[in-house]
Structure 1
Amino acid sequence: MSSRIAPLPSPIMKGQRKRPRKCNKDNLVAIRELPCILTGVWPVEAAHLRSGCLGLGKRDTGMQEKPDDAYVVPLSPAKHREQHSMNEIEFWKAHGFEWRDIVAIAQALYQHRNDLEARHVIIQEARRWQSD
Structure 2
Amino acid sequence: MALPQRAPKPEKPKREKRDGRFKSQKHRDWVRKEFACVMCGSTVGREFAHVRIGSHAGIARKPDDLRGVVLCAADHKRQHDIGEETFWAEYERRHGQTVWQLIDSLCAASPVAHEIRQWRIEHENG
TM-score range, shorter chain: 0.5 to 0.7
Alpha-carbon displacement from aligned partner over 1:14-52 (angstroms, at most 9, x marks no partner): x76534522111111111121111111103111100111
- CA–CA distance in structure 1, aligned partners of residues 74 and 102 of structure 2: 20
What is the TM-score when the length of structure 1 is the normalising length? 0.61
The answer for the alignment partner of 1:22 in structure 2 is 22
Structure 2 runs not aligned, ≥5 long: 1-14, 113-126
AA of the residue aligned to 1:103: W
CA distance in 1, matches of 2:36, 2:62: 23
Q: Which is higher, the Rg of structure 1 or of structure 2?
A: 2
Cα distance change of structure 1 residues 112 and 35 upon mapping to structure 2, 3 Å threshold: same
State the secondary structure of the residue aligned to 1:29.
Answer: helix
Q: TM-score, normalised by structure 2?
A: 0.64
Cross-structure match for 2:111: 114
| Counterpart pick for 1:50 among 46, 52, 57 | 52
| Residue ranges of structure 1 left out of the alignment (5+ in a row) | 1-14, 53-58, 116-132
Identical aligned residues as a percent = 27
Match of 1:10? none
Aligned counterparts of 2:72 and 2:104: Cα–Cα separation in 1? 19
Q: What displacement does 1:97 show?
A: 6.3
**SS at structure 2 position matched to 1:85:** helix
With over 3 angstroms needed to count, the CA separation of the structure-2 counterparts of 1:114 and 1:20, relative to structure 1, is closer
Runs ≥4 in structure 1, deviation > 4 angstroms? Answer: none
Distance in 1 (alpha carbons) for counterparts of 2:94 and 2:19: 28
Q: 1:93 aligns with which of 84, 89, 92?
A: 89
- Displacement, 1:62? 2.2
1:71 paired with 2:67, answer: yes
Q: Matches of 1:70 and 1:88 in 2, distance apart?
A: 17
Whole-Å Cα distance in 1 between the matches of residues 106 and 59 of structure 2? 25
2:8 paired residue number: none
The residue matched to 2:82 in structure 1 has which SS?
coil
Root-mean-square deviation (CA, aligned residues, Å) is 2.5
